[in-house]
Structure 1
Amino acid sequence: MSFFPGTDPEPGNSFACDAIENLIIPRSSDIGGFAVRRALPSRQRRLVGPFIFFDRMGPALMRAGEALDVKPHPHIGLSTVTYLFDGEIKHRDSLGTELVIKPGDINLMTAGRGIVHSERTPENLRGKPLSVSGLQTWLALPDDREEIDPAFSHSDAGTMPLIDNDGAKARVVIGDFAGLRSPVPTFTDTLYVDLRLEPGRSFPFPAAHEERAVYVLAGELSVADDGFAPNQLLVFRPGDEITLKAGPQGCHMMLFGGAALNSRRYIWWNFVSSSKERIEKAKEEWRTGRFEIVPGDEEEFVPLPEK
């Protein structure tokens, strides 16, 4: 989840296709029986468009008696994006938001100058086996929005535009794609698309966005006759027209990217900023209890890491 303390992934191997700038193999870590694979940030690539963090959660089957319990923790300078394929997660934050996210929905939580939230298994699902699968990503905020007031936006799956065309099915989760636009608010050019291709089906990935990447979720993806397995991240060269082709088992993938930020971003724990000094200030604010509390989840919190 968004507090996951894993290390950066190891670099992957380059492929022959000239359109691929980076191939990133995420490192998998286990948090209480729950597998998380982190693709961004990595040693090879820190951001793709505004995406500064990309975690693949699960798929995992949590046994009866197990539960997801991400205690209250803080963020600054970013928007968190939670997107599920399976399972349910209850979100609470310091704005007073309390909501259960379900598969296909989007939770967009904008931290700005500071927010605190928790993510837990809903009470009605505790004590039962629970399948959980999804993605959590962070969008770094542009320079002039880093210190805005925190906000929360939830969009139901049914409000997002769909593509259903001859073996290709896609949901436009954030931003513009193929002439369609998601209702999820954005602060800069952003692309986030859930794409499924039937076996052997090809699909164009146009160069409309400055930076683009694909994360393979299931099946096999082929690009210019190079094959890519699940849990591989491909970052493409700007300006190249790309054709995505599914292997014999089909392919499920996320397309993402957008405009590059105008300045460098620093990331430490759950804090993102263009200023190292601002991150130091946030560390002190969390250490001394100056962030807001999460109503209904006041008893626990994630302490500031020592390093």
Structure 2
Amino acid sequence: MTRIIHELAEIGGDYGVLFCDLWGCVHNGKAAYPAAIAALQRWRQGGGKVALVTNAPRPRAMVERQIDRLGVPRDAWDDIVTSGDAAQDAMFSGRVGRRVWHVGPDKDLSFFTDTADPRAAGLERVALDEAEGIVVTGPYDDLTETPEHYRERLAAARARNLPLLCANPDLVVDYGEQRLYCAGALAQLYEEMGGEALYFGKPHDPIYDLARRRLGVGRDVPALAIGDGIGTDVAGAVAQGIDSIFVTGGLAAEFMGGDVESPDPALLERWLDGQGIHPSFAIGRLR
């Protein structure tokens, strides 16, 4: 049974490494959560290491600039590891060819350009009918578009058996009070149509391997994952064989009762049973 905790300090001493999700846990896309920042600072002051592990499809440097603007201080983390980092390496290695159709907004163009990797020089962004593969960083307009806007174009890609590289496995994210679709939702639709999708962010191994290398720790160091995505953050922790804290006040808040800070135990267990996955711990908000 998942144990409900009220603050990270209740269990923090049992672990040396924290893999903490960003969106929904440390910020909501518009502002940082002060209590979450204080919890991460206390963790590091106690000798633990923090990797902010995010399914953002952008390279680390761009995410660092973003959280700086949102008010996440540098003393709250040791490193940032993004799905974009792990997927970028696969793209430059030619996993979906050298001529790719990019689906994503202009803000994600750094995924192709923010690198010193010499392999980037041989990559070309082209129209769908000229492509060898697809790279999805998100909808072109995530404020208005849904996966259904892409069904016809994805069907054309599926007819040519184009592989799809998904730079962000998240299905949705909450931007303030608005729920937006992510690259993972487009990849999911493509798979439902019979297409091949490749993933490199949570819950898949590459992003955790990269986080450990960045922190300089091995699998022998007890680790804890925190996140509000049951199918990404918690599922990833289970696959890694590590404990997890599910932040119930994020994506699943509507199912947990009227107090976002304190999930209803019965509602939580019923919802987790329906998901078929149980985190080690649950908390309303990271603090």
| TM norm. shorter chain > 0.5 | no
Query: When the two structures are superposed, what TM-score results if normalisation uses the length of structure 2?
Result: 0.30
Identify which of structures 1 and 2 has the higher relative contact order when contacts are C-alpha pairs closer than 8 Å and 6+ apart. 2
Query: When the two structures are superposed, what TM-score results if normalisation uses the length of structure 1?
Result: 0.28
Question: Larger % of strand: which?
Answer: 1
